[in-house]
Amino acid sequence: MSRKYLCVLSLSLVACMTAGSDTPEALMDVDRAFVRATAANGVDGWVSYFAEDGSMVGGNLVTTGADSIRALLTPVFGDPTYSLQWEPLQAEVASSGDMGYTLGRYLRTRTDADGNIFRAGGSYVTVWRKDADGTWKAVLDVASPDQMPPGGSGN
C-alpha cells in the first residue's frame, strides 16, 4: 500500500474514533467508567472525572471546584462502610459534540456502628463537557434524593 493510502486510512480511522465518542452511548460508557473508577478509587476516582471548575449540587449544598469537591467528599468516602453506585439510563450529546448529559439512578449505602444499614437512592443528572484533548469531564452533577435521609442534607 502506498503512503498516501495509509495516510487516508489512518485519518479515516481517527475520524471514526472521534465521531464515536460523540454519541449518547459513548457518553453513557464514560459515565459507567466513572462508576468503576469511583468504586475502585473512592474520592480520587470521583474527582478524576470532574472538570477543575465542575460543581456538585445535592440538597441545599452547591460545591464548586475539584479541590472543594475533594474536601467535601474525603470524609464520606473515608467511611469503609460507605458505597455509592449509579447507573446511567439516558444520555444526549449536543450536535456540536462538546457538551452532553447523562441521567440515571443512584444508591448510597452505609452501615452505622450498631450494624444498621442505611440506603438512600435517587435520581441524578450529570452535565459533561469535552475538553480540548477529547476527554469528557463532569461540569455539573445534581443529585435528587427520593426522600431526604434522616438528619441529612441529601449529600
Residues belonging to the chain: 155
Give 38-41 contacts, CB < 8 A, sequence gap 24+.
38/84, 39/83, 39/84, 39/85
pLDDT at residue 2 is higher than 60? no
DSSP string covering 40-102, please?
A: HHTHHHHHHTEEEEEEEEETTEEEESHHHHHHHHHHHHHSTT-EEEEEEEEEEE-TTSSEEEE
Distance CA 54, CA 48 (A): 11
pTM: 0.80
pLDDT tens-digit readout, 89-127: 999 999 999 999 999 999 999 999 999 999 999 999 999
Longest dimension (CA), the chain: 71
More confident residue, 55 or 2: 55
- How much is the average pLDDT of 138-148? 91
